[in-house]
Amino acid sequence: MLRRGFLSVRNGLTADDVRKTAAALAARALELPELAHARTVAAYVSVGSEPGTLALLDALLARGVRVLLPVLMADNDLDWGAYAGAGSLVRVQHGGKMALLEPAGARLGPEAVQDADAVLLPGLAVDARGMRLGRGGGSYDRVLARLERAGADPALVVLLYDAEVVERVPEEAHDRPVHAVVTPSGVRRFR
Q: Residues 12-64: pLDDT tens digits? A: 899 998 989 999 999 999 999 999 999 999 999 998 899 999 999 999 999 99
φ/ψ (deg, to 5) at 6: -65, -40
Q: CB of 108 within 8 A of CB of 42? A: no
Q: Is the pLDDT of residue 135 over 90?
A: no
Q: Is the pLDDT of residue 120 over 90?
A: yes
Q: Is the pLDDT of residue 136 over 90?
A: no
Q: What is the pLDDT of residue 2?
A: 80
Q: What is the pLDDT of residue 98?
A: 76
Q: What is the mean pLDDT of the chain?
A: 93
Q: Is the pLDDT of residue 1 over 90?
A: no
Taking alpha carbons only, the member of 66, 38, 35 closest to residue 159 is 35
Q: How confident is the model at residue 128 (pLDDT cuts 50, 70, 90)?
A: very high
Taking the domains of the chain in order of start, what are their residue ranges?
2-189
Q: Is the pLDDT of residue 191 over 80?
A: no
Q: Which residues contact 181 (CB under 8 A, 6 or more apart)?
A: 126, 130, 157, 158, 159, 160, 165, 187, 188, 190
Q: What is the pLDDT of residue 70?
A: 97
% of the chain with per-residue pLDDT over 70: 99
Q: What is the pLDDT of residue 24?
A: 94
The CATH number that domain 2-189 falls under is 3.40.50.10420
Tell me how far apart the alpha carbons of residues 68 and 41 are, in angstroms, rounded to a whole number: 6
Whole-model pTM: value is 0.94
Q: What is the pLDDT of residue 99?
A: 86
